[in-house]
């Protein structure tokens, strides 16, 4: 019986130690990305079949792509994506690098992520999509880029409003509303198209 408390104490000590060992390489990698330490990042990525490129911050869920997007660093963004970083990884609040880029108004980064097949329609915890953020920013160029990549102008956030709704609240006849209505009509026609025999 006396051995049980000792065993339990041993497990309690070894579990955090094991957890720390598991997180340490990912933590070091993310810190190197934050500090723009190319040599340490390269070294970490040399490990064969390493998934370190998609390591997440244990407190926020952010990946290296979130870090470099927040600082609008296209060079690092390109480098990480070329090494297999997941462009659709979301942090603990459901924010993707694309959403961050749009929210920052960083067109170059957003367009690059879309070219790399970032999903144009992810929603965060509030149900907000990159397209909704682009409409809030009144950024017609980003709105068009997102729509061309397949963003849904009718997808609603948690309040029940879509990008089209927000555009209409701002201006019923503005160019933003026209562009969103045009894409919504195109998408409706595609959805109504029927292929093959109808039973």
pLDDT of residue 170: 78
2-52 pLDDT tens trace: 444 444 444 444 334 334 444 579 999 999 999 999 999 999 998 765 689
Residue 154's CB is within 10 A of a number of other CB atoms, namely 14
Contact 120, 151 (CB under 8 A): yes
What distances in angstroms separate CA 144 from CA 74, 135, 166, one per listed residue?
A: 21, 10, 16
Contact 126, 95 (CB under 8 A): no
pLDDT of residue 190: 56
Residue at token pair 């390591």:
55
Which carries the bigger pLDDT value, residue 76 or residue 183? 76
d(CA 153, CA 131): 7
d(CA 115, CA 100): 16
User: What's 23-119's CATH class?
Assistant: mainly alpha
The CATH topology of domain 121-192 is 1.25.40
Where are the domains positioned within the chain?
Answer: 23-119, 121-192
């Amino acid at each position: 019986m006396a051995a049980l408390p000792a065993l339990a104490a041993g497990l309690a000590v070894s579990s955090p130690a094991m957890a720390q060992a598991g997180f340490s390489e990912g933590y070091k990698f993310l810190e190197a990305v934050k500090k723009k330490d190319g040599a340490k990042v390269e070294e970490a990525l040399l490990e064969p079949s390493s998934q370190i490129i998609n390591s997440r911050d244990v407190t926020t869920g952010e990946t290296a792509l979130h870090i470099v997007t927040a600082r609008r660093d296209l060079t690092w963004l390109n480098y990480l994506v070329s090494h297999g970083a997941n462009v659709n990884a979301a942090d603990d609040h459901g924010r993707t690098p694309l959403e961050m880029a749009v929210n920052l108004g960083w067109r170059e980064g957003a367009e690059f992520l879309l070219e790399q097949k970032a999903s144009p329609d992810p929603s965060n915890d509030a149900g907000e999509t990159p397209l909704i953020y682009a409409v809030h920013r009144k950024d017609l160029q980003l709105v068009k880029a997102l729509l061309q990549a397949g963003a849904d102008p009718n997808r609603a956030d948690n309040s029940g409003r879509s990008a089209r709704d927000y555009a209409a609240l701002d201006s019923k006849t503005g160019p933003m509303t026209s562009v969103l209505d045009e894409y919504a009509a195109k998408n409706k026609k595609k959805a109504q198209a029927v292929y093959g025999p109808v039973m």
